[in-house]
């Protein structure tokens, strides 16, 4: 008989994130090869895990077409050299794709059906721009189910500013600048690099190179520079390129295990899953989605927001993060929040980002035995939010004063 099990995030790795488009480092690299690199790197770093013991491989992508289609979990597992006995499948929950890969696999492990699983995501926004090949049903607009602007993420961000006037452009600009500074400081301190899998890349002239760092960082960002940027989503608007995540290519991968497998294989988990939740909101203001999903996840866990010692919040837009912080009474520059920077600096390859949040939270947990609980959360297109609460296995019961 299968038994209910704890679910552990054993480890996670990702490719460096590249700028999307012809000038980006992955322009000549296939999306599925980015996934394969992540799987190989993660399995090599965890030699105690036999490939044949992986029960399933869940890989998310938002645009599931071309080299980002073909039942990615299965095709990537084969290409990565996992045994042919290992199955796999693909997932789509737009930006929360990899997060949903993790929670879906966690459910299977939690009810005792699986022992070990790989869960991640990929988005090659250069090869597959957001919305490409999409054909939204005309009823959405004709029957006024959603406003036409709901399909443009930048427009939805502007509408959060409209709804909450206290969330000013200056606050968003400052948040965007701090994200860049924190990401560079984390790089300078060697915090990010250990979890990156180097990727061989080829430029337009056929010369080979190696991708080893996230490509889109702008540590020189200033408030003056941000104030002068254009507002592409609305004349005289408040959302700019400096307060938005850039279009990005990249892949992420997490290794999940149940309690029995952890003991049997002598694994050292980096996090224990406490609870998760997804929630829907009006598509026109999709960025507030993590507020209700976080409230649901906290309620399921029997916790309050004050119990969360570290936050990894996806920075689709600065306004989206500060709306959540404002709701919960947390300062924009609270040191618990995205202490190594976020998607504004690092990039947001849509369906891959959920596991990046987990990778960074896990690394921070290892440094912070005084912190018991952490949150990974993100907004999702068409009006959703996703939140996962994690427990630190290194917690020593002593909170920092």
Q: For this structure, is 348 an active site residue?
A: yes
CB 42 within 8 A of CB 255: yes
CA nearest to 379, candidates 319, 334, 330 = 319
The answer to whether the CB of 140 falls within 8 A of the CB of 146 is yes
**Nearest residue to 174 via CA among 217, 237, 222:** 222
Element (H, E) at 208: strand 208-211
- Beta strands per DSSP E along 293-335: 308-313
All residues at 6 or more sequence positions from 61 whose CB lies less than 8 Å from its CB, including other chains: 31, 68, 69, 72, 90, 92, 97, 121, 122, 123, 128, 350, 351
In degrees rounded to 5, what are phi and psi of residue 328?
A: -95, 5
Point out the catalytic residue in the list 95, 124, 128, 161.
95
Burial category of 237 from C-beta neighbours within 10 Å (exposed 0-12, middle 13-18, buried 19 and up): middle
8 Å CB contact between 281 and 383: yes
Q: E strands, 6-86, where? A: 7-14, 18-19, 56-60
The verdict on whether 95 is a catalytic residue reads: yes
DSSP 146: S
Cβ burial of 45 (10 Å; 0-12, 13-18, 19+) is middle
Please give the angle made by the CA atoms of 128, 132 and 134, to the nearest 5 degrees. 135
Q: Which of 128, 161, 348, 394 is catalytic?
A: 348
Point out the catalytic residue in the list 128, 327, 379, 394. 379
Residue 161 is a catalytic residue = no
* 26-to-29, 54, 355 alpha-carbon distances in Å: 5, 29, 20
Task: Please enumerate in sequence order all residues whose Cβ is within 8 A of that of 328, keeping only pairs 6 or more positions apart, or say none.
Answer: 291, 294, 305
Q: CA angle, 30 as apex, 25 and 34 as ends, to 5°?
A: 80
**Residues noted as catalytic:** 95, 348, 379
């Amino acid at each position: 008989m299968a038994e209910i099990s704890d679910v552990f995030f054993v480890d996670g790795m990702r490719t460096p994130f590249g700028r999307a488009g012809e000038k980006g480092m992955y322009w000549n690299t296939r999306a599925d090869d980015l996934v394969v690199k992540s799987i190989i790197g993660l399995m090599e770093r965890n030699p105690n895990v036999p490939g044949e013991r992986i029960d399933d491989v869940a890989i998310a992508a938002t645009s599931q077409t071309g080299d980002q289609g073909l039942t990615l979990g299965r095709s990537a597992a084969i290409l990565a050299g996992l045994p042919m006995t290992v199955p796999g499948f693909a997932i789509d929950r737009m930006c929360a794709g990899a997060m949903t890969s993790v929670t879906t696999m966690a459910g299977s492990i939690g009810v005792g059906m699986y022992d070990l699983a790989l869960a991640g995501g990929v988005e090659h926004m250069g090869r597959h721009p957001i919305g490409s090949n999409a054909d939204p049903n005309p009823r959405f607009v004709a029957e006024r189910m959603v406003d036409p602007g709901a399909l443009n993420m930048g427009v939805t961000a502007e509408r959060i500013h409209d709804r909450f006037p206290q969330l000013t452009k200056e606050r968003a600009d400052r948040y965007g600048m701090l994200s860049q500074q924190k990401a560079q400081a984390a790089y300078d301190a060697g915090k990010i690099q250990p979890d990156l899998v180097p990727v061989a890349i080829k430029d337009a002239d056929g010369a080979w190179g190696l991708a080893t760092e996230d490509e889109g960082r702008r540590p020189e960002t200033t408030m003056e520079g941000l104030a002068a940027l254009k507002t592409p989503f609305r004349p005289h608007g408040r959302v700019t390129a400096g307060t938005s995540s850039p279009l990005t290519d990249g892949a992420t991968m997490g290794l999940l295990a149940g309690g029995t497998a952890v003991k049997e294989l002598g694994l050292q988990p980096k996090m224990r899953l406490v609870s998760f939740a997804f929630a829907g909101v009006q598509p026109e203001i999709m960025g507030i989605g993590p507020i209700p999903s976080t409230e649901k996840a906290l309620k399921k866990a029997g916790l309050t927001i004050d119990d969360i010692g570290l936050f990894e919040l996806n920075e689709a837009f600065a306004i989206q993060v500060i709306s959540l912080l404002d709701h919960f009474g947390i300062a924009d520059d609270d040191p618990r929040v995205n202490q190594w920077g976020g998607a504004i600096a690092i990039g947001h390859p849509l369906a891959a980002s959920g596991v990046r949040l987990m990778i960074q939270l896990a690394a921070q947990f290892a440094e912070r035995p005084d912190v018991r609980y952490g949150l990974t959360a993100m907004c999702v297109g068409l009006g959703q939010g996703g939140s996962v609460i994690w427990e630190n296995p290194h917690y020593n019961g002593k909170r920092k004063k």
